Amino acid sequence: MAEKIVIIGSGPAGWSAAIYAARANLSPLVYEGTVKPEMIPLGQLAFTTEVENYPGFPFGNIRAFVESAVDKGRHWNLPPAPDHKRDGVYHYAVQGVELMELMKQQALNFDTRVIGDDIVDLDLNTTPFKVIPANGEPIEAHTIVIATGARANYIGLESEENYKNKGVSACAVCDGALPLYRGKPLAVVGGGDSAVEEATYLANLKNAATIYMIIRRDEMRASKIMQQRALDHPNIEVKWNSVVDEVLGDGNLVNRLRLRNTVDDSTNEIEVGGMFVAIGHTPNTGFLKGKVQMNKKGYIQWQLPFRTNTSVDGVFAAGDVADDYYRQAITSAGTGCMAALDVERWLAEKGIE
């Protein structure tokens, strides 16, 4: 028998869709993806430490709550609790993996089924649709929610990899206000609109120090109005014709960047407490080429305002895979909820029970 709803992806969008679908008795099946260097089960938040902006998780004794809520069999996946304590008790913002394990648990509590496999192909020309996993048997589905997210692009330096979460980040809005970066000179790599947005965000934070924008050429790709915003900002200093040659630090935290001049190949160092890479994202839509409509950047194109419908009737998209603008956990969770409600209404309209 065909599944009523198959959800592809295990980030905030996928689990939120699963929670809503499961509570509507649609018995969702989630493909959570397998471990890869750039994409992992539980999604992008599994790459980060504390998440300070997800509503409902102020600083507190998160560890006790997580351990009480998440099945013991998955405690091995929980990272060590940060060593911030108040009155001898843990007191910190929820960590990415903890938050995602809680979302997964909430979906499991309502009998969501989960398969640890990747979807490599979809046949959307037949109904029910055919969903083809990398290892298991193909299955049939009346509806599909694509929640495969996106991955941040990085420069590709080994030193950058070594300092991820220790001064290297790909999201200023997510991480910029963390104590790790607070009041320190910081660098933003990239010259597009989103790089300017990241730099401006950092430059406007309370006690912001100098924010360096590292730009490969002698001009920015950003729109004129965005460029002016950066150039006029008293806290932003642009390093033109520059690329990051090496991320330097004391082994624990970033403290400098070595920049290379793209015109004369000379190098120089700047002191920074962090580097934010803003050179774009790649949506995880490789297996969907030619199957659903995408925009120029390869993100799935929603077809109607405030709906998660894709160009294929019965296929819905949620989270970063269809959103190249907000890219936050809360917005992904929001569209995950919308996708499940859209599925529920679609099935009811078709009389599929």
Would you give the binding string for ligand FAD spanning residues 47-76, x where CB under 6 A is met?
Answer: xx--x-xx----------------------
Q: Does residue 329 interact with ligand FAD by CB under 6 A? A: yes
**Contacts (CB under 6 A) with ligand FAD, residues 27-46:** 31, 33, 39-45
Nearer to ligand FAD, 130 or 260 (CB): 130
- Interaction of residue 317 with ligand FAD, rule CB under 6 A: no
Counting every residue written for the chain, the total comes to: 353
Lay out the site mask for ligand FAD across 243-272 (x = CB under 6 A, - = otherwise).
Answer: ------------------------------
Q: Catalytic site residue 174?
A: yes
| Distance (Å) of CA 248 to CA 10, 97, 200 | 34, 27, 24
Question: How many other CB atoms are found less than 10 A from the CB of residue 351?
Answer: 6
Among 143, 148, 194, 308, binds ligand FAD (CB under 6 A): 148
* Catalytic site includes residue 171: yes
Q: 150 forms bridges with which residues in the sheet?
A: 283
Q: Given the residues 118, 171, 320, 342, select the one marked as catalytic.
A: 171
Residue 118 catalytic? no
Per rule CB under 6 A, is residue 310 in the interface with ligand FAD?
no
Of the pair 144, 244, the CB lying nearest ligand FAD is at 144
Q: Which of residues 116-135 bind ligand FAD (CB under 6 A)?
A: 118-119
Q: Smallest distance, Å, CB 43 to ligand FAD? A: 2
Interaction residues for ligand FAD, span 204-233 (CB under 6 A): none
Which amino acids are annotated catalytic? 171, 174-175
Q: Where on the chain is the footprint of ligand FAD (CB under 6 A)?
A: 8-14, 31, 33, 39-45, 47-48, 51, 53-54, 118-119, 147-150, 152, 169-171, 174-175, 284, 287, 319-321, 327-330, 332
